[in-house]
Amino acid sequence: MLSSLKPSPADPILQIMAEFQADPRPNKIDLGVGVYKDGEGLTVIPKAVKMAEARILESQDTKSYLGLLGDVGFAGLMADLVLGDTAPSDRVGAIQTAGGSGALYILMNLAREANPDATIWASTPTWGNHHAMAEGLGVKTRSYAYFDPKTRAVDVGRMMDDLKAAGPNDIVLFHGCCHNPTGANLTLADWERLTEMALAQGFLPMVDIAYQGFGDGLDEDAAGLRHMAARVPEMLIATSCSKNFALYRDRTGCAIVVSGSAEAQVAAKANLMTLMRITYSMPPDHGAAIVRTILTDPDLRKVWEDELTAMRTRMLSLRQSLADAMRARTNSDRFDFIADHRGMFSLIGATPEQVARLRDEFAIYIVGDSRLNIAGLREERMDEIAEAFAAVGI
């Protein structure tokens, strides 16, 4: 039976990661997969995480099952981190998941359960796994205009025009902050208009917020989402601790459902539990225990928030350095957008051939759609990188 299987295509981001790892050139530089790196090019474990792990090692006395919801304390804290006090707590249900991807998957499953005819709309472009996941679940997808390659900013007019066609059978997926892959983000005014559209047209907003704290700050990055959550009757939110807590491989995320009433919230949570049971049953605990330990201890929380601030500040300064280096190299302001974008990524506007030349001739790895991981840049190699970009004609 299994001989009928044909090899399926690799995920483009994970393929770049594997190619980079296999490249023996010592000067190689990884601007591909969305992993934060410090000034030494290392993805270190934050001090707050190490301290929490030490406490867990001391105090944890069982590895017995927790249940389908995972660590409920963690889930409540994540709902607070994302939503603040914007949505009434009896309408909010949160469940721990295996990473942000686990949250997206379980929420798409829930949406399909609630409405088998539902269509998920995603921005053009979006993180490749959004479409792949929905389609894998047999959920229809559509795209709405988002990025203007000329201005390198959000094309608000075209986005709103496209979304006029979204109605009660539709789920519209937004990036809460730090848009992946473009780096171009919605303003609070855009979120306000989209909220009005959701209310008038009846579509269900779904928000993927995998980079909270990487843009302008923990609260700032959630401001648009919170505005929406305070006004719409229902909302789905997928959040992740991969980046802001650097827990990548510990697979720590949370699915949050804002329901129309307290009763509907109870039903949504029960459905989430059933869906969890038939997928991977219970989520892994370690990362959630770390996050709960950090968020419930004021001292640890302060250590973590300071470390998060340092990561964000470094990315902002790298953005400015690259924009400056490109300005000097090209004698134009064409690349100033890099400093205006927020989060880990920018779409640099290279063709697939230019991306291949960067890899082959300069050992610089970026994703094929020309997405650049800002956190992979090195201050001391900025001129070299800008020169390579100019040399391939970007």
Which DSSP category does 4 fall into? G
CA distance 311 to 386: 22
Which CB sits closer to ligand LMR, 210 or 385? 210
* CA–CA distances in Å: residue 14 to residues 97, 306, 357, 368, 382: 21, 30, 19, 11, 25
| Minimum separation from the CB atom of position 126 to ligand LMR (A) | 10
Please tell me which residue in 79, 166, 198, 243 is annotated as part of the active site.
Answer: 243
CA triple 22-25-26, angle to 5 deg: 115
DSSP calls for 268-305: HHHHHHHHHHHHTSS---HHHHHHHHHHH-HHHHHHHH
Which two three-digit tokens encode residue 216? 């302008």
Per CB under 6 A, does 350 bind ligand LMR? no
| Minimum separation from the CB atom of position 128 to ligand LMR (A) | 7
Which CB sits closer to ligand LMR, 242 or 265? 242
CA distance 197 to 59: 49
H-helix or E-strand containing 373? Answer: strand 371-373
Q: Which of residues 23-52 bind ligand LMR (CB under 6 A)?
A: 33-34
Per CB under 6 A, does 180 bind ligand LMR? yes
3-class DSSP assignment, residue 321: helix
Which CB sits closer to ligand LMR, 33 or 95? 33
| Minimum separation from the CB atom of position 343 to ligand LMR (A) | 11
In one-letter notation, the amino acid at residue 197 is M
Closest CA to 178 of 224, 110, 120: 224
Size of the site for ligand LMR (CB under 6 A): 5
> 210 an active-site residue?
yes
Which CB sits closer to ligand LMR, 34 or 215? 34
CA distance 276 to 68: 7
> 208 an active-site residue?
yes
Per CB under 6 A, does 252 bind ligand LMR? no
Q: Which of residues 210-239 bind ligand LMR (CB under 6 A)?
A: none
DSSP calls for 324-350: HHHHHHHSSSTTTHHHH--SSEEE---
| Minimum separation from the CB atom of position 98 to ligand LMR (A) | 12
| Minimum separation from the CB atom of position 41 to ligand LMR (A) | 17
Please tell me which residue in 71, 208, 250, 285 is annotated as part of the active site.
Answer: 208
Please tell me which residue in 75, 184, 210, 255 is annotated as part of the active site.
Answer: 210
CA distance 222 to 39: 27
CA distance 252 to 74: 10
Site track for ligand LMR across 105-144, x = CB under 6 A = ----------------------x-----------------
Per CB under 6 A, does 338 bind ligand LMR? no
Site track for ligand LMR across 138-177, x = CB under 6 A = ----------------------------------------
Which CB sits closer to ligand LMR, 127 or 144? 127
| Minimum separation from the CB atom of position 235 to ligand LMR (A) | 22
Which CB sits closer to ligand LMR, 170 or 221? 221
Per CB under 6 A, does 13 bind ligand LMR? yes
Site track for ligand LMR across 272-311, x = CB under 6 A = ----------------------------------------
Which two three-digit tokens encode residue 217? 């700050």
In one-letter notation, the amino acid at residue 358 is L
Strands 147-148, 119-124: pairing is unpaired
Residues found near ligand LMR in the complex (CB under 6 A): 13, 33-34, 127, 180
Active site residues: 127, 208, 210, 243
